[in-house]
Amino acid sequence: MDYFKNIENYLFNRLSPEDKLLFEKEAKHNEALAKELEIQRFEIETINQIDEDDLRENLKGLGTEATKLKDEPVRPVEKTAIRRSLIFKGLAIAASVLVLIGFLFIPQLTSTSNSLVASSYESAKLNFGDSGTRTDDAIKSIFEAPYIEILKTRNKTKSKEAINYFKNYTASSETNAFLALQNLGHAYLLDESNSNAIATFNSLLENERVGKRLKEEASFFRALAFYQNQEELKSKMLFQNIVESKGRFSVLAKKILDEID
C-alpha cells in the first residue's frame, strides 16, 4: 500500500476495513506519515468549520426551513477544493507547527517504544538458540540461519516469515522445542503482535520443565512486549520484579525503568 497516497482516502473513509487497519498501524510508527496525516486532517476540519460558520450566518433570518438546515451536517470538503483555497498555505504552516509540537507529547505517534525495544535487544546480545549441536563431524545449527538472521538483525519486513518458521518448527528434543517457542515470542515481538508475544512467553513461564535461563529471558521480553503494547503500568511492575530477582536481566530491567520513569 502507498500510504501517503491513501491519506485522502483514509480521511474521507474510502478505504476497506483491512486497508484502514494497515494504514492506522503504519501511521503509529511512521512519523512522516503521521505528521502529514495530522496536517491534512487539520486543514479539512478548519475549512469545514469556516464553511459551516458561513452557511449558518447566511441562514439566519430565513425562517423555519433555514432553522432546520442549521442542524444538518456540512458535507466534508474534498482535498482538491482545499488546495484551491487561498487560506490553505496559512493553515498548512500553522498545522505543521502544531503537529511538530504535538509529537513531543503524544507517545503513540513517536518511535520511543520502538527505540527502547531495539536498544534492549542490542544490549541483551541474544544468540536465539543458535549455538548448535555437535554431530560426528561438525556442529549443526539448531535452526535455519536465515530465520535466526531475521531476529538478530530485527528485520521487521520479514518478521512473518520468522513467525511461520518457528511456529511450525519440528523439534528433535524438548529443549529445542522450548528454544523454538522462545524465538516465536521474539518474532511476534518484532512483528508488533504484542498479545501473541505475551501469550507465547507466558507459556514458557508457566511450564515447569523450562529451565531458569530460558524463563529469565521470557520474563524480560514479556515485560518488553507489555511496554510495546502501551501497557506501561504492567510493564513497570514486571521490570521491577526482574530487578528484585537479581537475575540475568536485572541490570537491563533497571536501565529501562530509569528511562521510562
Q: Who wins on pLDDT, 54 or 149?
A: 149
- Tell me which residue range forms the domain holding 69: 4-107
Of the pLDDT bands very low, low, confident and very high (cuts 50, 70, 90), residue 49 is: low
Same domain, 99 and 121: no
Of the pLDDT bands very low, low, confident and very high (cuts 50, 70, 90), residue 22 is: confident
Same domain, 19 and 87: yes
What is the residue-averaged pLDDT of the chain? 79
For the segment 61-89, the average pLDDT, to the nearest whole number, is 50
The yes-or-no verdict on residue 126 having pLDDT over 50 is: yes
> How far is it, in rounded angstroms, from Cα 124 to Cα 120?
6
Output the domain CATH number for residue 130: 1.25.40.10
Same domain, 71 and 122: no
Please say which residue of 91, 107, 123 terminates a domain: 107
**The dihedral sign for the CA sequence 22, 24, 27, 28:** negative
> How far is it, in rounded angstroms, from Cα 183 to Cα 113?
20
Per-residue pLDDT, 103: 42
Same domain, 48 and 133: no
Q: Who wins on pLDDT, 246 or 30?
A: 246
Same domain, 85 and 151: no
Same domain, 132 and 234: yes
Q: What are 26-41's pLDDT values in tens digits?
A: 888 888 888 888 888 7
The yes-or-no verdict on residue 67 having pLDDT over 70 is: no
Same domain, 96 and 136: no
Please say which residue of 70, 92, 107 terminates a domain: 107
